[in-house]
């Protein structure tokens, strides 16, 4: 058992000097936020698509993400609305933004709309904005997977 109180242990775990991080993924030209940091001193993070990918695949991954910018824009908009304190607690705003997002995306994706439109999920419940955002995320993940040549490195 530690001689420290739980509060002291938690305080030790918090960095004592503020770390200023940039929010863009460090994949050059990547449109996604860099939310994954491998170590505490790292100032730029990577997105989930670039994370653990072989560096030689990074340009292809960035290309896939920018080719599908209309979809990545909607993923980012969905995340922003669900994490911004102004909008995250307003079901009416979320519903209106969801409707607007669907209206923006449909005319831009042609026949891909069959895969990208809101639809019932595994439990049979129709997509809400959040689950639709995850559907778009999985779609982009599959596009990234398709252009990735080398296997992802495994976590240590």
Per CB under 5 A, does 140 bind Zn ion? no
Q: Burial of 68 by CB count in 10 Å (0-12 exposed, 13-18 middle, 19+ buried)?
A: buried
Among the candidate windows 23-31, 82-90, 91-99, 122-130, which touches Zn ion by CB under 5 A?
A: 23-31
DSSP conformation class of 84: -
The DSSP bridge partners found for residue 44 are 22
CA gap 87, 131 in Å, rounded: 17
Q: Which two tokens stand for residue 130?
A: 């959040």
CA gap 48, 39 in Å, rounded: 15
Task: Please choose, from the candidates 124, 86, 116, the residue with its C-alpha nearest in 3D space to the C-alpha of residue 94.
Answer: 86
Per CB under 5 A, does 33 bind Zn ion? no
Per CB under 5 A, does 25 bind Zn ion? yes
Per CB under 5 A, does 30 bind Zn ion? yes
Q: How far is CA 136 from CA 4, 52, 113, 114, 140, in A?
A: 46, 20, 11, 12, 6
Among the candidate windows 42-50, 83-91, 92-100, 120-128, which touches Zn ion by CB under 5 A?
A: 42-50
Per CB under 5 A, does 47 bind Zn ion? yes
Residue 83: CB minimum distance to Zn ion, A: 18
Q: Looking at residues 72 to 101 of the shown chain, list those that interact with Zn ion (rule: CB under 5 A).
A: none
Per CB under 5 A, does 27 bind Zn ion? yes
Residue 62: CB minimum distance to Zn ion, A: 7
Residue 64: CB minimum distance to Zn ion, A: 10
Q: Where along the sequence are the contacts to Zn ion (CB under 5 A)?
A: 25, 27, 30, 32, 47, 50
């Amino acid at each position: 058992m530690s001689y420290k109180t739980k509060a002291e242990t938690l305080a030790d775990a918090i960095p004592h000097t503020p770390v200023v991080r940039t929010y863009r993924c460090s994949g050059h030209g990547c449109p996604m936020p860099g939310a994954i940091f491998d170590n505490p001193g790292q100032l730029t993070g990577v997105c989930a698509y670039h994370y653990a990918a072989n560096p030689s695949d990074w340009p292809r991954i960035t290309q896939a993400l920018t080719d599908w910018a209309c979809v990545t824009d909607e993923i980012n908009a969905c995340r922003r609305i669900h994490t911004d304190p102004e909008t995250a607690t307003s079901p009416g705003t979320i519903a209106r933004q969801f409707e607007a997002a669907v209206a923006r995306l449909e005319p831009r994706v042609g026949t891909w709309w069959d895969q990208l439109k809101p639809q019932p999920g595994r439990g049979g419940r129709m997509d809400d904005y959040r689950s639709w955002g995850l559907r778009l995320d999985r779609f982009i993940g599959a596009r990234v997977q398709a252009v990735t040549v080398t296997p992802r490195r495994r976590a240590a």
